[in-house]
Structure 1
């Protein structure tokens, strides 16, 4: 029975990685039909509606009584507001495959921020792989900074902003998780995202004198498909898959599945959208993925060593 649950957990991890990988392609598709603020507003409304329906059907449980919701506002500022703003604008100026590779850097940034703010210093091996990832990013930026690639350079810098926001969110979420369940944190994030981005989109349309056209993109089936994918599959279904996986296998093992996301993003962008994929993106992307893998892998090894040392110390006593 335990083996079966482990296999199901790994399957859930693969499904989540595939969903996240394709999300960049659907974001790119949707941006051809609507503004970034509109897309984000519609996406989060879709997620809020689904989560609310699941709560009303008693499929999920959320209880905000006597809980300090103010502590979630700073969290929501970085994720979803800053993160998705930078990610969506970055995808608009680059490609879905490029975005997938850059967003893969988040675990590396989390390790760096943990060392700065939580005093969780990385090992020498982790440091080597962190530097490898950084060199991969710098290589892509330098190679993209000429000719027709200048627009992509701005997009890459925006994606780095999303990566930094995602890393800060990971650090802040550790504190929030002590008081709130993951589904409660997610629900508040989706609500704030829906309010902020729809508010910005409405203001944008008001200034342009096009408020009557606000829901016009929803007349196209392609827009509906993209919004449903991003709002339901990417924001809710993948979230439940990750929760199930984390409930069955340790976090260090689950981190390996996140490395599948950029691979899926690259394949989806090149195969389904016919995006260009340059040799320097392949080289830089490989360095990023190797760096992410090494940072996660040796974090797991260090934890095992520390556990063994603690065990040995206790046996001595």
Structure 2
């Protein structure tokens, strides 16, 4: 019973994280017309770090951490926060938020590839077939905005989003494998703080503060959402989910992310629904499920399925 409740809670944490991250593409896209990616990230990480610090103080968590974990946190912060968010924010300068949401669901494929290469897992026929299907789906999404199907060269934004899926797979595997014996909230705080420190020099170089007074209330609301719920709560909850579930189990929740992105992009950004893009997204998800062989795992891991188990 306790194990079932823990898995249900972990599934709920992962679902909330994915929902916030799905909406984050829309919020990021909404403010990129005025802010460059680095200024956006400085504000976002600053708000997130402050929010998490307040939580740490309220919960009376110690801020002091063993020196042993500092290299681990630096690596995770650079990969999962700084590099990942810079790549995605830059990609969203040239592609739609909904397309970004579909492509990010490709990440579990890279997780399997890394497992084969570094963890000596076997490559099965099902995995190989699923990878081919998922790649076809990615090609459909990345060329859906072209006047002619499969027109090349592909927009650099799509390539950056594909790169971000590889980066996220590496981050998730490392976060699970490093076994950092610290509360997930403390880990998230230091990674967010590191993201803020690494992006601040770019803010100074670009004089990003000059544009801040021109932001509207709606744009500040998007930034607050990105700081508190995306940089803060979502990363915290993702780490909490990984404390209970395996990395491969948590990765299946990425299937839900493009749905949140698509719905929010249509409602807030009035993005057009491109049938071939949606079809490509569905094909990506089918391919990823084949790769992981986790159709029933996915269905059973959903919060409303675990509640009564």
Match of 1:171 among 165, 170, 173: 173
Q: For residue 239 of structure 1, give the secondary structure of its aligned residue in structure 2.
A: helix
Task: Show the counterpart of 1:216.
Answer: 213
Is residue 278 from structure 1 mapped to residue 280 from structure 2 by the alignment?
A: no
Task: Show the counterpart of 2:16.
Answer: 15
Assess, with a 3 A threshold, how the Cα gap between structure 1 residues 212 and 15 changes in structure 2: closer, same or farther.
closer
Alpha-carbon distance, 1:105 to partner = 1.2
CA distance in 1, matches of 2:143, 2:194: 36
Is residue 238 from structure 1 mapped to residue 239 from structure 2 by the alignment?
A: no
CA distance in 2, matches of 1:247, 1:177: 9
Alpha-carbon distance, 1:57 to partner = 2.0
Tell me the TM-score normalised to structure 2 length. 0.82
How is 1:81-96 mapped onto 2 (pairs within 5 angstroms)? 81-96=82-97
Alpha-carbon distance, 1:220 to partner = 2.3
Report how many residues are paired. 295
C-alpha contact (below 8 Å) 2:18/2:253 kept by paired residues: yes
Match of 2:159 among 143, 157, 160: 157
Task: Show the counterpart of 1:185.
Answer: 187
Alpha-carbon distance, 1:59 to partner = 5.0
**Structure 2: tracts of 5 or more residues without a match:** 298-309
**Structure 1: tracts of 5 or more residues without a match:** 206-210, 302-317
CA distance in 2, matches of 1:35, 1:74: 25
CA distance in 1, matches of 2:78, 2:12: 32
Alpha-carbon distance, 1:29 to partner = 0.9
Superposed CA deviations along residues 243-297 of structure 1, whole A, max 9, x for unmatched, are 5555666665544433111111111112321112322212211111112233334
Task: Show the counterpart of 2:66.
Answer: 65
Is residue 227 from structure 1 mapped to residue 228 from structure 2 by the alignment?
A: no
Alpha-carbon distance, 1:65 to partner = 2.6
Assess, with a 3 A threshold, how the Cα gap between structure 1 residues 123 and 268 changes in structure 2: closer, same or farther.
same
Alpha-carbon distance, 1:100 to partner = 0.6
Assess, with a 3 A threshold, how the Cα gap between structure 1 residues 72 and 256 changes in structure 2: closer, same or farther.
closer
CA distance in 2, matches of 1:45, 1:230: 10
Assess, with a 3 A threshold, how the Cα gap between structure 1 residues 241 and 168 changes in structure 2: closer, same or farther.
closer
Assess, with a 3 A threshold, how the Cα gap between structure 1 residues 201 and 156 changes in structure 2: closer, same or farther.
same
- After alignment, is 69-78 or 130-139 more displaced? 69-78
Assess, with a 3 A threshold, how the Cα gap between structure 1 residues 262 and 109 changes in structure 2: closer, same or farther.
same
Tell me the TM-score normalised to structure 1 length. 0.80
Q: For residue 230 of structure 2, give the secondary structure of its aligned residue in structure 1.
A: helix
Greater Rg by CA: 1
